[in-house]
């Protein structure tokens, strides 16, 4: 994971995605989102349409989580109403709870960011191959008609 930013509180869950790969597998065997079990490379195989649809869903989910993160700022920025020990302890406990929630949302957003980045890379590679195949077909057809 050298060179990758680790979100605060990451216990390795996001780092586990470093070795995971996403593949666009139109017309080939492979489960919708399941790990490869055959002779292919390990990873997640989805059709281009399924991956594109899921990518849109995951981006919406990440936007919703980021909106929750922005809306929840008051949960970890509570100011004590007094300086007595009970007020300070209760304020500290409330802010700690809010910080835990914030950490959870940050980890979720980072996880989804990693997944969507890998999906976009897989779709980009697939699109580049499609474009190259189209260009190759056009070249092969030139002069034959």
Tell me if 117 sits within 8 A of 17, measured CB to CB. Answer: no
Supply the pLDDT for residue 12.
54
Domains of the chain: 47-131 (1.10.287.850)
DSSP 35: B
Residue of 102, 2, 117, 121 lying closest to 59 (CA atoms): 117
pLDDT digit string (tens) for the chain, length 145 residues = 334 445 445 555 555 566 677 888 875 444 444 444 444 667 888 888 999 999 999 999 999 999 999 999 999 999 999 999 999 999 999 999 999 999 999 999 999 999 998 899 888 866 666 777 777 777 665 655 4
Query: Which residue carries 């590679």 as its tokens?
Result: 125
């Amino acid at each position: 994971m050298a060179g990758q930013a680790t979100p605060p509180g990451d216990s390795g869950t996001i780092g586990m995605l470093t070795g995971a790969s996403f593949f666009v597998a139109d017309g080939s065997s492979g489960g919708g989102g399941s790990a490869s079990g055959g002779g292919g490379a390990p990873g997640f195989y989805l059709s281009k349409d399924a991956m594109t649809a899921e990518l849109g869903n995951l981006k919406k989910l990440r936007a919703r989580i980021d909106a929750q993160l922005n809306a929840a700022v008051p949960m970890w920025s509570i100011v004590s109403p007094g300086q007595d020990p009970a007020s300070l302890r209760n304020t500290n406990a409330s802010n700690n709870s809010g910080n835990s929630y914030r950490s959870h949302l940050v980890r979720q957003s980072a996880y989804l960011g990693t997944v969507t980045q890998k999906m976009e890379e897989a779709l980009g590679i697939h699109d580049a191959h499609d474009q190259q195949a189209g260009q190759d077909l056009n070249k092969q057809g030139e002069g034959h008609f």
